[in-house]
Amino acid sequence: MSSQELKRAIGYANSAFELLKRSAIPPYPQFYELLYTYASGVNPTLNNRINAIFRSGDAPSLNLAESLYNEFLKADVSDRMTDVSERMHARIEAVHDAIDTAMTTANAYSGSLQMASGDLDRDISVSAMKALANKLLAETRHMQETNRSLEQKLEASRDDIAALQRDLDDVRRESLLDPLTKIANRKSFDESLDSAIAEAIVTGGPLCLMLLDIDHFKTFNDTYGHQTGDQVLRLVAMTLKSNIKGKDLAARYGGEEFVAILPATSLEGAHTLAEKIRKAIQAKELLKRSTNEKLGRITASFGLAVYHPTDTAASLIERADRCLYAAKHAGRNKVIKEDDLVNMAPIKISAA
């Protein structure tokens, strides 16, 4: 990249960050990409849409930014996987064709050498010898050119396949993220929990599972609408993710339920962490962006379970789930760990 191109790219980046700041939109990668694309002007349709929004006087919002990103920039994971697969197939076909051409040339060259060997076994004139030498020299040069062409195509294929591998890695990472909250999805959680259990078996170290559910989320969603409900889900997800570290994994378990895998964490340590997250969630007051209307505070209930040698992934989740429902039954906005259940009556509730 030349110094002029670098200067231009930095200018686009600064413009994108300024727009994010001015619009109070968090600088998540997808929104930075959206406004960097706008600043660069490479997508006229996107620019026309955003300019129309600015002219209308409407206040930019997180939901609007997400809608524009999904419309103009986001490719469906399955579509991207199909695209990468087709490109990989085309590249492999090109390699096969290059190899077939080289093999055909090599076979023809081998046949010419055999014929020349037969001619040399007989007495031939000087002129015939010269003609034979010229023919072999020409075919040798043709063989060399074919080999050079093959080397170039293989080199290009190596670079293309490396790029395709990076694309596949990106698609895989995206396939393991929840599209709304940008934390790990259920598939990623299932895979990670199996790995964490396998590691706990080998090391003998502790492993805890934290399950949390947003209190009265359905009522909140029905009252203020799905867009505000989505804002709540993102808020809880980012609060959970920002409070874990190391090998811990935060994931959206489903609906308004979230989960955290906590390797090398004791039950008491998990309880301390859950209380910190519970208080952090409760401390955040929600505002409706369009009107600045105060919507109050949200709370969440937590269930904690620790891995035992007889556990499967399902039994560990089931025990954390029982603790979660016990927290709901005890009044919500509480943390219940599995050893608290000993002194509690059996519980059966269905309300969230």
The residues annotated with a catalytic role in the active site are 256
Phi–psi pair at 76, nearest 5 degrees: -60, 140
d(CA 2, CA 9): 11
Strand ranges of the sheet holding 249-254, from the earlier edge strand across to the other edge: 249-254, 257-263, 207-214, 300-306, 335-337
The rounded distance, in Å, linking the Cα atoms of 347 and 323 is 10
Nearest to 141 by CA among 117, 171, 175, 105: 105
**DSSP code of residue 51:** H
Q: What is the DSSP letter of 183?
A: S
Which residue's entry shows tokens 């023809």? 108
At 336, phi and psi to the nearest 5? -120, 125
